[in-house]
Amino acid sequence: MMLYESTRGKGDVIPSAEAIKKGIASDGGLYVPEGFVRLSMDEIKALVPMSYQERAKYILRGYLDDFTQEELADCVDKAYNTRKFSSADIAPVVLMNSSLNILELWHGPTCAFKDMALQILPHFLVKAMRKTGEKDEIVILVATSGDTGKAALEGFADVEGTRIIVFYPDGGVSEVQKRQMVTQEGGNVLVFGVEGNFDDTQTGVKQIFTDESLIKVMAEKGLKFSSANSINWGRLVPQIVYYFSAYADMVKQGRISFGEKINFVVPTGNFGNILAGYYAMRMGLPVNRMVCASNDNKVLTDFIHSGVYDRRRDFVRTISPSMDILISSNLERLLYELSGRDPERVSDWMARLRNEGYYDIGPSALRLLNEHFWGGWSSQEETLKTIECVYDEYGYVCDTHTAVGIDVYDKYVITTGDLTPTVMVSTASPFKFNASVCKALSMDDSDDEFELLKKLSEKTGLPIPEGLKGLEDKPVRHGRVCRRDEMKNVVMEALGL
Ligand SMILES: *Cc1c(COP(=O)(O)O)cnc(C)c1O
């Protein structure tokens, strides 16, 4: 059986269901598989004629081998279907021009790539709880700056045995994002605004999570907290699937010959998405380079160039907000590999980051890093310019996060001359970040985001995605805004305690 160990070496070694249930290891580390599942070239070839769902079942079973095939099939079928996704291909690869292919990961219900993981995680979690003898109902608590909250709500809505409570900073999310959340349907969902910014909201949620007296009262009622954050193995593993799927589609469409290596370009924040691509490569997928694209918060670009991870810098609020991150949590899993799976070195680097604000991985680990990764960044001006150029030249409309990736890919080709066939990973629908996209396309300025959705649709001829359509007319189901110091009471009331 595949077992999972902590990147810091001290936690228990446990099967996947336990790792998914626990989320983070007790020593503060992240769970990683003891070894990579290897796929032979024949196995990879066998993926080519398969549907996305079949590919998912095939890849997942190597890592989640304590789940039965029926359980995995049930999770996959509930997550990836045309009731939830606007494309029957789930994660289609479309052609932008003769050298660039776009993997669109935003056909899910919330129009951003978080759906790829958060549509399936709730099903993994419920089965993992049952499998490990847990009888309690799961309470998911989320603090969100926008995207994750809605994706988690959609994923957990009406999933049996779970409840979800989401807090967002009132005034700290866009009008569209807020509307998406406060109109959420489902019998087990609750959403609250918090007076304050995202940090206040997140601190409040963290305190509730670790409130011993509350946890005790909950246990008496058969309730237990769990988390859906991006370091959970159950969120990372479904992301490996679409790298294999994209490769299979490239072969199927005749864009590459089977066995040929390709590059992936990934707009990166917490390092979860790109790490899944690296895992796919370690499993045998023919990958030449992973290109890591950042915005002004270019900690990762600097890290890939120097081997020094330095968070001692100002945080910049950009037009690609889902990449505005200075501490990329999932990077720890890559460090584990770069250190030769040495938990002491990883613990040391993480302690330095916490205490001094930076760490240096040294020349040999840096050499390993540069074998497979290239890093670059795009300024906000360059990002807007890219949206405009891509639309003018190819008629393709991309969102701000994807545009960061396309701009960095241009820089990659100019710097390296590498013309390997490349898949650009696109992480959000242009409608999701419509204000910046409209600005880039020099359209009428309007403060009304709902009006802009219509205008963008008229200009580009693309339909407004289902999840964003008619939002302004949907009834508000969760209108309450609370103070930071009321959050615990709000949770207790919501749970009937
Ligand atoms: C979350 C997110 C990212 C960053 O992904 P990571 O896995 O955190 O690196 C990029 N783009 C969009 C639109 C996102 O929502």
Three-state secondary structure of 79-97: HCCCCCCCCCCCCCEEECC
Atom of ligand 1 nearest to the CA of 268: 9
Decide if pLDDT at 445 tops 80.
no
Atom of ligand 1 nearest to the CA of 273: 7
Tell me the percentage of the chain whose pLDDT exceeds 70. 100
At 446 the pLDDT is 81
Nearest-atom index, ligand 1, CA of 239: 7
Q: What value does the mean pLDDT take over residues 51-55?
A: 98
Told to judge if 114 belongs to the known catalytic residues of this protein, a careful annotator would answer yes
Q: What is the mean pLDDT of residues 239-265?
A: 98
How does residue 228 score in pLDDT terms, banded at 50, 70 and 90?
A: confident
Residue 131 pLDDT more than 80? yes
Give residue 98's pLDDT band: very low, low, confident or very high (50, 70, 90): confident
Q: What is the pLDDT of residue 411?
A: 98
Q: How far is the CA of 401 from the centre of ligand 1 (A)?
A: 8
Ligand 1: atom nearest CA of 432 is: 13
Distance 113 CA to ligand 1 centre (A): 7
Burial pattern 10-35, b for ≥16 Cβ within 10 A else e, equals ebeebbbbbbbbbbbbeebbbbbbee
The predicted structure's pLDDT at residue 242: 98
Atom 1, ligand 1: residue with shortest CA distance: 322
Ligand 1 contacts CB of residue 383 (under 6 A):
no
The more confidently predicted of residues 234 and 315 is 234
What pLDDT shows up at residue 188? 96
C-alpha 232 – ligand 1 centre gap (Å):
15
Does the structure show a pLDDT above 90 at 396? yes
At residue 111, the pLDDT reads 94
Percent of residues, the chain, with pLDDT higher than 90: 85
Spot the catalytic one: 22, 114, 127, 131: 114
Residues 429 and 399: beta-carbon distance below 8 Å: yes
Residue 323 CA to ligand 1 center (angstroms) comes to 6
Say yes or no: CB of residue 112 within 6 Å of ligand 1.
yes
Mean pLDDT across the stretch 73-81? 97
Residue 448: band (very low, low, confident or very high) from pLDDT cuts 50, 70, 90: confident
pLDDT of residue 2: 97
Q: Does ligand 1 lie within 6 Å of residue 268's CB atom?
A: yes
Contact 404, 323 (CB under 8 A): yes
- Burial category of 239 from C-beta neighbours within 10 Å (exposed 0-12, middle 13-18, buried 19 and up): buried
Q: Say whether pLDDT at 209 is over 90.
A: no
- Largest CA-CA distance found in the chain, in angstroms, rounded: 63
Q: Judge if the beta carbon of residue 272 lies within 6 A of ligand 1.
A: yes
CA distance 81 to 71: 16
Mean pLDDT of the chain, nearest integer: 94
Look at residue 41 in the predicted model and tell me its pLDDT. Answer: 98
* Torsion (CA) 196, 206, 165, 476 in degrees, nearest 10: 10
